[in-house]
Structure 1
């Protein structure tokens, strides 16, 4: 920190990570990758962890950002406690028994938070209230992108194809379970059961019959009382990253990439995503050129339908009949150097460090407040 303060002309960036949800470890890993490549000659970096109990702390020098001996990383909550007052962009250090000390104004926040209480519009709302610029989508786009049910509603309204689904709301599951199960059976078997507002494949399972369905719904409900049940779609999983362009230019789309699960999993689950050797990404995907262009165009349409900013990743199914179906959009996708979205941009000619810089510059050059 002392070295950083000797160059006040640098942009002050708060990299915020962790959070109080099941994607805590993924967020920590994303932050570690960004902190490794961010240009310290250009940016003064303040790493801020949100502990699993919600406390904000200044990250210590011993903070681990990687999976070690099979253990997922967590925020080291022993650092100095921090607060961001709601009427300014000034970070306040809170030492026990001492007068709060200001760390200074933050120019931009990089909220590397995935899942509820981070990716869902909550921290975006806090930053809007504080008048601080930040990387990524705003409150509405973040909230809609996090809730898979409303995401599908918006995508359908924009004329984009999504697969058949049933919503299992808490009240209906408790009071009218028989009707809900009948609706789901009409989707056919198998089905995928997901928490509506979670990510990184937490709480997702595949149900092959009525006997396994109820257990799958209860598993999803451990993460979210609202559950999404989707008909299984036979097809290849192809993904595309979208990046906001400077000024009034249209957003740009990366080359599409195909996810290939190598670890024997039945689907692209948490282990396949984040444990070494469990998946590979073929980028560009081996699909016809005209299909790739259509997919890229659809990805941009999805980005614009939600009103996204910064970066998003749009996931598709490419069926044997040649149909493209939107699976979901992620407004703050996994952001380690080996995550899908950064890999797609690297394959498109924008390396990871350049992507980090581009996102920070986009955030710095957009106005705070309503846009």
Structure 2
């Protein structure tokens, strides 16, 4: 039997372009070539779809030189909806080659124009199966404001917050300062639609609010100001159930901070000191059960599909959901794979799980 063709799609137009490219390096290194025929497709920062080299080392995570998709002159020609699903590439010299029929796309994209439902809608329009979240859950979880509203409606505890638009900040600064002050100090300021801790600041004094908002507005026109929850940072990995089964939760992991104020971009990806990813976390059986149950509830509340990482604050009084990531960091050292590895599933098996779940969903 011919191997199913999997398009590994990465890069993109968001500020998380390099992290997506680094994730691609890990996936390309681990995906089973015995089971799948792999077609690497990169999206440049300008939004061009190009045929990439099947070379994991090209996209390894290097703190001194972050990987990226460079325009090599090729252009991916996507199949027409209702057609034969044959992918084609136009070479730099103008010639066109067939790459064969596509069975599934693995979109390992982070941030806007990829993790927000836009690429998912594009693939739905072309009737090409794809792994991971769909349009609705991707869009909801990319926008932290609406994600919190949905979780609240489902009875899932979230940290108190105020949402501020750039336009409102220009008109009503004093009112917004009062609303923020009511949240107490310290507080966090973050873009509503960004990830990887880009544009996030911890505010310990009211005088720091303006600069924090300025940093967040550089990423998004909508920003959240949140109460800082004092507690342990716990994360759990969720996978969609197969064959009508319920969603599944991994053993939880923990972000252990020593010298960092919060788990920022450097701590996550560049090997900065002061932050450690520990999985499984040291928790009681009751805490593990509660985290897994609430993680699945949150995933189901947003109509989750494929996978998600649910991030919590385990405080003295309650367990709070911080956010859901529908395409979490997926490098071999990221929390999502580490949680499933600790739960008995290898990194290559996890990649196959996502691909096979998408193919099964498309066949029903």
TM-score range, shorter chain: over 0.9
Q: Provide structure 1 residue ranges, at least 5 long, that are not aligned to the other structure.
A: 1-7
- Distance in 1 between the 2:62 and 2:296 partners? 37
- Distance in 1 between the 2:63 and 2:307 partners? 32
The 3-state SS of whatever aligns with 1:212 is helix
2:78 maps to which of 75, 78, 84? 84
Would you say 1:129 and 2:122 are equivalent positions?
A: no
- Distance in 2 between the 1:195 and 1:364 partners? 34
The 3-state SS of whatever aligns with 1:367 is helix
Would you say 1:332 and 2:327 are equivalent positions?
A: yes
- Distance in 2 between the 1:353 and 1:233 partners? 35
2:280 maps to which of 279, 284, 293? 284
Q: Provide structure 2 residue ranges, at least 5 long, that are not aligned to the other structure.
A: none
Alignment-derived partner of residue 98 in structure 1? 94
Q: What do the CA deviations read for 1:296-321 (whole angstroms, capped 9, x no partner)?
A: 00000011011111111001111134
2:267 maps to which of 255, 263, 272? 272
Counterparts in 2 of 1:52 and 1:284: CA distance versus 1, 3 Å: same
2:104 maps to which of 108, 113, 129? 108
Retained in 2: the 8 A contact 1:59–1:76? Answer: no
Figure out how many residues of one structure are paired with residues of the other and give that number. 360
Per-residue deviation, 1:184: 0.8
- Distance in 2 between the 1:35 and 1:67 partners? 13
Alignment-derived partner of residue 33 in structure 2? 40
Query: How does 1:1-371 map onto structure 2 within 5 Å?
Result: 9-60=2-53, 64-68=58-62, 70-78=64-72, 80-87=74-81, 88=83, 89-96=85-92, 98=94, 100-262=96-258, 264-276=259-271, 278=273, 279-321=275-317, 323-367=318-362
Per-residue deviation, 1:83: 2.7
The 3-state SS of whatever aligns with 1:134 is coil
Q: What do the CA deviations read for 1:268-316 (whole angstroms, capped 9, x no partner)?
A: 0011111226432222211221111011000000110111111110011
The 3-state SS of whatever aligns with 2:53 is coil
- Distance in 2 between the 1:226 and 1:235 partners? 26
Retained in 1: the 8 A contact 2:140–2:302? Answer: yes
User: How high is the TM-score relative to the length of structure 1?
Assistant: 0.93
RMSD: 1.6
Per-residue deviation, 1:53: 0.6
Per-residue deviation, 1:114: 0.5
- Distance in 2 between the 1:211 and 1:228 partners? 17
Per-residue deviation, 1:90: 2.9
Q: What do the CA deviations read for 1:192-230 (whole angstroms, capped 9, x no partner)?
A: 000000000000001112211011001001000100110
Q: What do the CA deviations read for 1:327-363 (whole angstroms, capped 9, x no partner)?
A: 1111100000110010000000011111001111000
